[in-house]
Amino acid sequence: ATASEDKDLVIIGGGVAGYVAAIKAGQEGMKVTCIEKRGTLGGTCLNVGCIPSKSLLNNSHLYHQILHDTKNRGIEVGDVKLNLANFMKAKDTAVTGLTKGVEFLLKKNGVEYLKGEGSFVSENEIKVALNDGGETTVRGKNILIATGSEATPFPGLEIDEKRVVTSTGALSLEKIPESMVVIGGGIIGLEMASVWSRLGTKVTVVEFLGQIGGPGMDNEIAKSAQKLLKKQGIEFKLNTKVVSGDASGEKIKLDVDSAKGGKPESLDAEVVLVAIGRRPYTGNLGLETIGMELDERGRVIIDSEYRTKIPHIRCVGDATFGPMLAHKAEEEAVAVVEYIKKGYGHVNYGCIPSVMYTYPEVAWVGQTEQDLKAQNIPYRVGTFPFSANSRAKTNLDTEGLVKMIADPETDRLLGVHIIGPNAGEMIAEGTLALEYGASTEDIARTCHAHPTLAEAFKEAAMATHAKAIHF
Ligand code: FAD
Ligand code: NAD
């Protein structure tokens, strides 16, 4: 390419961050190239993350419910069997449909899509090693690093994605293992533990901290989630650290230490899932060629407008700061294009929801009680249990609660924490309320349809500044 053919924006990575930025920039009339090496668009989320995991979670829940939760509903079922190959096929169909859909959207918005690995040759020039062989070069007035993240490996245990797996292997096991140890009780660990435990695997989750759920989950909700997951058959070892592993035998052996000084123990399992977090991925990108800075955790250092120290090179998504969530990447992708094109953009980092898609779901937005306590900020709490909600009772699905946290003086909503049926959808209402600066009285005075689970949300708001009606 020659300088006259410079693109307005060259994006490295076609994950949620990259493809959303590409579409948005196309819509803004910019000339865009998006480089992705995977062979399909959508990144971790669509290919080996959010989407396939939710397919397995949804269908394993259905299977588990048919096995264990029909009789009391007056439904008698005969011989129920799981066909693992078809169960996986349903997941693959969802993934393919969505990744192809993204490819169509790039085309529709005039984005050039290059299948290959991109690396910096200079501050404006990206070399692309094409998947089909050969090489090309693209030049960009602006460049966006959207290369995402990868699973953090566990030292001494080599990942083969068959016996020692990351989430990627855990999404595609070819047979149901008898036993599985999950290292790390964060969101990946608990979602995957749920899937395989529902299909019949004996699952043990080993978590270093004293609570499950990873960073950000409210203590009270995390305890309640652990109790409900334990009831489903998942075993937990908290305050326990996996110190070493040995995969040379028929079973994988793990040595664990109590973080509180108890006696060391050893566990064995047919499959071990390493789910101890993810780290930014910037391998083979040639960052050293342009003198780009990473922080001590490998994140690309950016300013509040996503600029690196080379101002026309920006970075969004998992490769930089903030929670590693698809919807956070998507918000940033839109904002970064707006910064480039118009000079302004907006992401409210205090208002990014989190959802754990276990059963029941756990969802939250805003501050936790532990955050507020640590900052010495006064707050008021109101809760409403699903056991007092008419729809939850009708559905025979009454585990969990809605918890709201508000400013005791102004009544402004500070946080919402839900464990219960449909929590992942219900949190959208909490997110909107928080984004608009609602008080809990505003929520309580908003008419909610009856009978719905959302009435529990309204009643939790009532309980925060006054009293709930039904509890
Ligand atoms: P990625 O999706 O990782 O995309 C980066 C892309 O860049 C990749 O496709 C990679 O191949 C490509 N790339 C990297 N380097 C180069 C290069 N040099 N040249 C060309 N291409 C390159 N988040 C949620 O919000 N909800 C969920 O339910 C959820 N579930 C998850 C489940 C699992 C099992 C996992 C692992 C993650 C999950 N996440 C979820 C997190 C979510 O997947 C990420 O936050 C999201 O994918 C980040 O988007 P990204 O575009 O920044 O990075
Ligand atoms: P995480 O950081 O959420 O949890 C990792 C857990 O492993 C932590 O609780 C940590 O204390 C524990 N741990 C670390 N080392 C350990 C050791 N040696 N022994 C025992 N425990 C150890 O990370 P994750 O669950 O791997 O998820 C990675 C990212 O993917 C997260 O940012 C998450 O938000 C994202 N994700 C999101 C969703 C969702 O939104 N539903 C689903 C999956 C993944």
Which residues, in sequence order, are CB contacts of 326 under 8 Å at separation 6+? Answer: 16, 45, 49, 50
CA 132–ligand 1 middle distance (angstroms): 23
Distances (CA, A) of 370 to 283, 380, 415: 36, 13, 11
Reported pTM: 0.97
Give the span between the Cα atoms of 464 and 450, in whole angstroms.
21
**According to the model, what pLDDT value does residue 141 have?**
98
Catalytic residue of the set 61, 68, 327, 450: 450
Structure tokens at 217: 């989950």
Beta strands in 3-96 (DSSP E): 7-12, 32-36
Tallying the residues shown for the chain, one arrives at: 471
**According to the model, what pLDDT value does residue 337 have?**
98
Ranges under pLDDT 50 in the chain: 1-3
Give the span between the Cα atoms of 171 and 165, in whole angstroms.
9
pLDDT tens, position by position, 288-322: 999 998 999 999 999 999 999 999 999 999 999 99
Q: Which ligand is nearest to the CA of 188?
A: 2
Structure tokens at 143: 């460049």
Report the complex ipTM: 0.98
CA 280–ligand 1 middle distance (angstroms): 10
**Cα 444–448–452 angle (5° rounding)?**
120
> Which H/E stretch holds residue 231?
helix 219-231
**According to the model, what pLDDT value does residue 117 have?**
98
| DSSP bridge partners of 236 | 205
**Per the omega criterion (within 30 degrees of 0), is the bond before 451 cis?**
yes
Q: Which of 126, 142, 135 is nearest to 21 (CA)?
A: 142
**Cα 297–302–303 angle (5° rounding)?**
135
CA 386–ligand 1 middle distance (angstroms): 34
Per DSSP, the residues of 116-168 read EEEEESSSSEEEEEETTS-EEEEEEEEEEE---EEEPPPTT----SSSEE-HH
270 lines ligand 1 (CB under 6 A): no
Going by alpha carbons, the residue nearest to atom 38 of ligand 2 is 187
Active site residue 450: yes
Q: Please report, rounded to a whole number, the percentage of residues in the chain having pLDDT higher than 70.
A: 99
**According to the model, what pLDDT value does residue 2 have?**
45
CA 319–ligand 2 middle distance (angstroms): 16
241 lines ligand 2 (CB under 6 A): yes
**According to the model, what pLDDT value does residue 1 have?**
42
